[in-house]
Homo-oligomer: A and B are copies of this chain.
Amino acid sequence: MRPDLNIDLLRSFNAVAETRHFTRAAEQLNCAQSAVSMQVKRLEAIIGVRLFERSKRIVKLTEEGEIFRRYANRMLCLNDLTLAAFGRNALQGRVRFSATDTSMCFLPAILSRFAQSCPLVELEIRCERSWEALDSLQAGETDLALVTQPCGRKGGQLVKREALVWAMAQGASVEELDPLPLAIFGPGCIYRKAALAALDDCGRRWRHAYNSESRDGLNVAVAAGLAVTVVPVSALTPNLRVLGPDEGFPPLPEIEILLFEASSDAALPVATFARTIEETLAKDKGTV
């Protein structure tokens, strides 16, 4: 029925909009000026809107042209992204990645970013405790590990500091809970020690009500309002309520998210994934 857009035409349109000259745009595009004129004309015919004001000598975007420019840009970006993701020198391969339960909450942002620009790279994700993740890394079973404890290993890179807070279900009340029922990870977690010590220090009685090796396990008890837990602020969900000094909860230490790589000269997909993690977490740094 009606013709589709054409990326080449958008490219030309964009060049004219940038340079504000048909001649310069032609140079930039390596073609004759008349070609650019005709391309813009063709594009205008397709979308049925006049894009440039040519009454005077100067080339100026019309109001609609200005609006259309945003659409054209999105289209060109998507085009470039797609070509970069697939083209001949697109990344391909596999990345075996270990995350801890705690670092898991950052994965959605990281993954959507990475999957977008490197769709051909196969991702293998495991969830382990920090020390297990580092063992896997050393054993060559994984390429990267995003952990919360260095476990004595050297070479980890600090990619983010994250506040840890006490939290419980929105509706639940903490008043009548004494001793305080806790849903936290089992022994081995250094933050667990710090949290319990802090509670003891301020004289709050507690009991270890629920235990699990995974956050999902704990969440069941927390969501039911049966226990209080400790989470990084990034893992807070709408149904969780932060418990502060007002309610008698001591401040918690910050956790450090560390990135370990199997080798410094890792395969390109691995290195790219590592850089994506750094960038994504660094971006969040300011907002939290």
Contact = CB atoms under 8 A, between A and B. Distances in A.
A82 B86 contact: no
A83 B5 contact: yes
A90 B48 CA distance: 9
A75 B67 contact: no
Interface of A: 2, 4-8, 11, 46-49, 64, 67-68, 70-71, 74-75, 78-79, 81-83, 85-88, 90, 119-120, 170, 173, 175, 242, 246
Given A88-B48, A173-B246, A82 B8 contact: no
Contacts of A170: 242
Contacts of A74: 78
A8 B119 CA distance: 23
A278 to B, nearest CB: 25
Given A47-B86, A49-B86, A71-B82, 16 more contacts: A2-B87, A4-B7, A6-B7, A47-B82, A48-B87, A48-B88, A64-B86, A71-B78, A71-B81, A71-B86, A71-B119, A74-B78, A75-B79, A75-B82, A173-B246, A175-B246
24 contacts: A2-B83, A2-B87, A4-B11, A5-B79, A6-B7, A6-B8, A7-B7, A46-B83, A47-B82, A47-B86, A47-B87, A48-B88, A49-B86, A64-B120, A70-B119, A71-B82, A71-B86, A75-B75, A75-B78, A75-B79, A75-B82, A78-B78, A170-B242, A173-B246
Given A7-B4, A11-B4, A85 B71 contact: yes
